[in-house]
Each structure stands twice: as structure tokens, then as C-alpha cells.
Amino acid sequence: MNAVIIAVTLMLGLSLVRVNVVIALIISALVAGLSAGMSLSDTISTFNNGLGGGAEVALAYALLGAFAVALAHTGITDLLSRNIINRLGLAPEAGAIKHVKVLLLVAIMAMAVMSQNVVPVHIAFIPILIPPLLHVMESLQLDRRLVACVITFGLVTTYMAVPLGFGLIFQEGLLLSNLISNGLADTLTVGSVATAMIIPALGMIAGLLVAVLYSYRKPRQYDAAKTAAMAPQHQGPLNTRRLVVAVAAIAMALAVQLLTGSMIFGALIGFVVLSLAGIDKNEISAQDAFTRGVHMMATIGFIMISAKGFADVVKATGEVPLLVDSIQAYIGDNKALAAMLMLVVGLFITMGIGSSFSTIPIIATIYVPLGLSFGFSAMAIIALVGTAAALGDAGSPASDSTLGPTSGLNADGQHDHIRDSVIPTFLHFNLPLLVSGWVAAMVL
């Protein structure tokens, strides 16, 4: 059996039985290399060399965590929390509570969407915004699995369908450029990509509607004592000066990130500004804020580092092209089956690597000539490659689209990464994406 399938299946299986994701990635990387015929020393060396690729992201997440904790102790996040709590207190009727739930979910989705383009901070907003709202969610008995689906929907669908910010990087910088460089018509534009991805995006919308209207519509209770610790820290009047400093720190962090292209230096500047003038020193010191922030994001950092090592081993096996080439041996001239298997293979690759952005260069070199040989149109090939890359971004244990929501929702230890983020997003987004991506390939 193909080493990629073995490794990804093993990684997912170990994660499902509650083996730590970092351990699951390391074990699966070793199995991938050995099953592909690599020596143990070569496998370990490749894995170790890949670890450095995840260090930058891990450090960025650690600093973002420190920035988030410091920001929470300025009182700025309490403004939103207090407004929602007051709204809940003024309208305790069932119908009004339902209205508040909707408003809260819409606000969180808006933040997720804007984090990809208007304010391109990606998942950095999650550990800042979500923890202070956990107390509100508990009061509303809101199922956090639904919140995870809402955040992941906003993150993934936006870059898939909207060519702005991260979406422009995905559609033009990666998808379009790789398709053209591998033989697709050079007359295609980013508008062609956006049009081809409309149908897959509709699949994401369908999955979200199922989550909202059916899967997680019922109330879910959490330990109130634990969520109480996440409640707004400032019960008295908010300090106007610290709020102004917090706004300035956010603006400076964003400006530095956009100018340098580095989340590390953006978060660093924001944390330094808050340390000097924004943190309530009676509640927490700058050192304690940094320590707590790093601790909050440490798990995500180690997962991202391990995921890069795993991805490098998977690439080094040389069995990704073999996995794709084997499609033709099974399907002959069956165009419909070819489209579905190409999508399924993309799902396995992205689930293992954990990044749709990293998947595109791997599969475009193989999918473009394969798609042309089956007679797919240029628009259909765009939809196939774009959907195959996005598949698995939602639902992968090592994806920031699932790690991000977990970093905020599990601030009080009541949201399991695998069972409450990975499985819900996999079921509600990857399955509809398979169907909608296949439909797009057949009708375009």
C-alpha cells in the first residue's frame, strides 16, 4: 500500500484514540519513511530537517499568545463581553437568547472572514477574542463545536472564494501560477479561479447550514466554574487610558505585520507596547503575561513544528506522484470516477501536510496533465486542484484552521481538539467539499 495512505491513516487513527497529535505525527512520519523503503537514519534526518520549517510559525503563535494575554488585561476584550452579557441579562426569554446566539455567531464569523482580507491577521484574533466570550457561551449554553465550525468556515471559505488578502495569495500566487506553469492555458486570470471556486464554496455553505440548523442546535452545558475564570477581568469602570493603549498596540502590531510580512515582529511590537503602558500591573506582570501566553499556545506550536517534519518525510518518500498515477490504473476512461479519486487523493495529502497552501505545488504538477488527459476543461481543472488542496484543511489535526479555533475554545480546558474541532469540521466541510468539488469538475 502507498506510504502516504498508510501514514495519514495511521496519524488520524492515533489522534482519534486520543494519542497526542505530536506523538501521532512523529510515529506516522517514521512509518511513512520506513514503508517507502527509506532507512531509519534517512527518515529521522529528513524529519529533523523539516522541523526548522515550523519554527517560525511556532514562535509567531507563542508571541501572539503573549500578546493576547496582555491585551485581555487592558480591558478591551471586556467591552464586547460586557455588551453581550448585558444584552443577555436584559432579554432572558428563550426567543431573545436565540437572537443573542445568532448575533454572537455572526460577529465571530465576521471576524474570521475579515482576518483573511480586511485585517489580514489570520488566526491571531482567536486567542484574543474567544477566551473572554467563553463565559458568555456557557450562559447561552452554546455548543462550542458549532463555534469551531463557524470559525473554520470563515477562515477556509474566504480564501477559497474571495481573491483578497490571503485569498489572493491562494488563488493567484499559488493556484493560478502553479496551474499555468504546469501547462494550463496562460490566458486564465484570477477572476477565472474565483469563478471556478464558487461551486466548492457553496458546498462549504451547505455544511455550515447543517451544523447550525441540525447538528449543534441543541444547548450544551459546560462547567460553569471553569468558564467563570474566563469572564471579563475588569468588573469596575474600564480604564480609558489602557483601552487607548490597547487600540494603539493592535494598530501598531497590524502595521508592523503588514510592512514586514512577519507575525513574529508584529506580535512582538504589540506586546512591548502593552508591557510598557497597557497592562494592569495589579493583576499581572509583563513576565507572567508572556509566560501564560506561551503556555496557552505551546501545544499548537509543537504540533506545527511536528507537522512540518511529517510533511517533509511524506514528500521525501516520492510516493505522492505514485499515489496520483495509480488513479489511471483503476479508472481507465471513467471521467466521473477520475474526478472523485483526484479529490480523495487531495484530501489525504492535505490531511497529512495540514496546509492547503503547501499542497498546491505538490498536486498541481500531476493533476494538470492528468486532468487534461481525461478531457477536463481549464475551469474544471481549477476547481479540481483548488478543491483538492482545500480538502483536509478543515478537519486536519495539524491544520491552523482547526488548531486556531481550539486555541481559543479550549482556554478553560473544556474543548477537545480532535473530538470538538477536527471531527466536526471534517464531517461538515470535507464531505460537502467532495460532493461540490466533483459537481464543479463535471459541469464546468
pLDDT, position 140? 84
Q: Report which of 346, 355, 420, 431 is spatially closest to residue 383, judged by C-alpha positions.
A: 346
pLDDT, position 146? 94
Domain ranges of the chain: 3-218+229-443
Q: What is the Cα–Cα distance from 12 to 348, expressed in whole angstroms?
A: 10
Question: Which comes out higher in pLDDT, residue 335 or 289?
Answer: 335
Mean pLDDT, residues 350-360 taken together? 70
Question: Which comes out higher in pLDDT, residue 38 or 94?
Answer: 38
pLDDT, position 437? 92
Mean pLDDT, residues 228-234 taken together? 61
- Name the range with the highest mean pLDDT among 292-296, 342-346, 367-371, 413-417: 413-417
Question: Which comes out higher in pLDDT, residue 103 or 440?
Answer: 440
pLDDT at residue 4 above 90? no
In whole numbers, what is the pLDDT of the chain averaged over residues? 79
pLDDT, position 78? 67
Task: Decide if 223 contacts 415 (C-beta within 8 A).
Answer: no
pLDDT, position 230? 63
Concatenating the DSSP letter of every residue in 322-345 gives: HHHHHHHHHHTT-HHHHHHHHHHH
Here the cell at position 107 is: 460577529
pLDDT, position 436? 93
Task: Give the pLDDT band (50/70/90) at residue 172.
Answer: confident
Question: Which comes out higher in pLDDT, residue 289 or 154?
Answer: 154
pLDDT, position 358? 66
What is the SS3 assignment for 395? Answer: strand
Mean pLDDT, residues 36-41 taken together? 86
pLDDT, position 81? 63
